[in-house]
Amino acid sequence: MTFLQLNDLKIHFPTDDGLVRSVDGLSFQLERGKTLGIVGESGSGKSVTSLGILGLHKGGRAKISGEIWLDGEELVSASPEHVRSLRGKKMAMIFQDPLSAMHPYYTVGDQIIEAYRIHNNVSKKVAKKHAIDMLGRVGIPQPDRRVDSYPHEFSGGMRQRAMIAMALSCDPELLIADEPTTALDVTVQAQILDLMRDLQRDFNAALIIITHDLGVVAELSDDILVMYGGKCIEYGSADDIFERPEHPYTWGLLGSMPRLDREVTERLLPIKGSPPSLINVPSGCAFHPRCAFEPRTGGKGSTLVPDLVETEGGHLVRCHLSREERRDIWATEIKPKLES
C-alpha cells in the first residue's frame, strides 16, 4: 500500500466575495524515503494542500472533500481528535519563517520539550535530554547551552535548524516543509538543504517540500508536482520536469528564471499576466489567459478544463495541446531559447 495517497482532494473556502477553490481536485502518491516537490506561485494552493494534509486548514468554514490516505488510514473522514494525535507524531511540518513560527515567550528547548511530551509520556528531564540530542543532531553547537535560549537569540539559520529539530522530535514518517529556506541567506539555505537531505536519509521519512524555487526543488526532489490555480498541471520525476517538461506553464517557469549554470541569455522569457485570483479562476484551463499557445487549442482553452493525462511512464500533463504538439513546441521553440 502507498504510504501517502491523495485522491481528488478539494479544499474550498466560502468568503463574502465568493467561493475560493484553494485546492481543486488534487491527487498524488508518495512513498517513505521519497521526496515530492510541490512547485507553484502565490495562490496556487500549494500551502493550503500541506495544511489540509495535517488537518490545519482553517476550521469550520473550509469545505474539504476527497481522500487523504496516510499509512492505511483515511484522514478527511477521521475525527479531528484522531488527526490531532497524528500531528507532530506521524506527520510533522516545517514552516517558512522560523522567527514567527516559534513562540517568542518560550525557550527553544521548552518548545521542543512540549512537542516531545505531547506524544511521549516522559518526564520533563528526559524530554529535555531528548531536546538537547535533537538540537545536536541538526547541527546546533553547544546544544546543552542553547536549549535554554529564546528564539530571538538565535540566528535565522539556527532557528530553522531548531524548527527542524522540533518537527523531527517524535520521529515522524511524513515531513512537510513549506518554503523552508525562503527566509534564509543563500549560504545558510545550502546548509539547511544539506541537512534536510541527510536527515531524510537517516529518518527514512516521506518528505514534501513546497516552494516557488525550482532550484531548491531540483536539489531535493525525486518527483515534482507543479500547481496552478488549485490544480496539478504537471507531475513527473525530476528529470521529466526539467528535461522534458510538457506544460506551457512549466516552460514559462523555466524561462522566467535566470540560471547560473548556463550562459547569460539576452532576455528572460517570462509568462505574461499575473497568477489568477482563486476567487475568479479563469474558465476552462486556468492558465489559458497567460498561455502563449492557447490559440493552437482551437478555442478549447477558455471553455474546457483539460484532464490530467499520462503522457509517458508516470509523467502527467493537464493540457489541451496534443502530446506531439507539446513535444514539438518544447524541442523547437522553447528548449533552444533556454539554452541559447
Q: At what angle do helices 156-168 and 186-203 cross, to 10 degrees?
A: 10
- Site map (CB under 8 A) of other proteins, residues 299-328, x = contact: ------------------------------
Q: Which of 30, 13, 32, 31 is nearest to 21 (CA)?
A: 13
Amino acid at 220: L
Q: Which helix (H) or strand (E) holds 336?
A: helix 335-339
What residues between 181 and 210 interact with other proteins by CB under 8 A? 185-191, 193-194
Size of the residue set binding other proteins (CB under 8 A): 78
Q: At what angle do helices 108-119 and 156-168 cross, to 10 degrees?
A: 10
CA distances from 286 to 47, 294, 311 (A): 18, 11, 20
Q: Of 54, 135, 199, 227, which lies in the binding site for other proteins, with binding defined by CB under 8 A?
A: 54
CB of 73 to other proteins, least distance (A): 15
Question: In the bound complex, what is the minimum distance in angstroms from residue 249's beta carbon to other proteins?
Answer: 8
CA distances from 92 to 21, 164, 199, 336 (A): 25, 9, 14, 42
Choose between 76 and 184: whose C-beta lies nearer to other proteins: 184
Interface mask (CB under 8 A) for other proteins, residues 244-273, using x and -?
A: --------xxxxxxxxxx--xx-xxxxxx-
Counted residue by residue, the chain has a size of 340
Answer for which of 32, 119, 296, 335 binds other proteins (CB under 8 A) is 119
- Choices 15-23, 65-73, 149-157, 299-307 (CB under 8 A): range interacting with other proteins: 149-157
| Residues from 95 through 114 that contact other proteins (CB under 8 A) | 95, 97, 100-105, 107, 114
Which stretch in 11-19, 87-95, 278-286, 319-327 sits in contact with other proteins by CB under 8 A?
A: 87-95
How far is Cα 320 from Cα 326, in angstroms, rounded to an integer? 9
Residue 252 vs 306, nearer CB to other proteins: 252
Q: Does 123 bind other proteins (CB under 8 A)?
A: no
Element (H, E) at 219: helix 214-220
Q: Which is nearer to other proteins, 42 or 79 (CB)?
A: 42
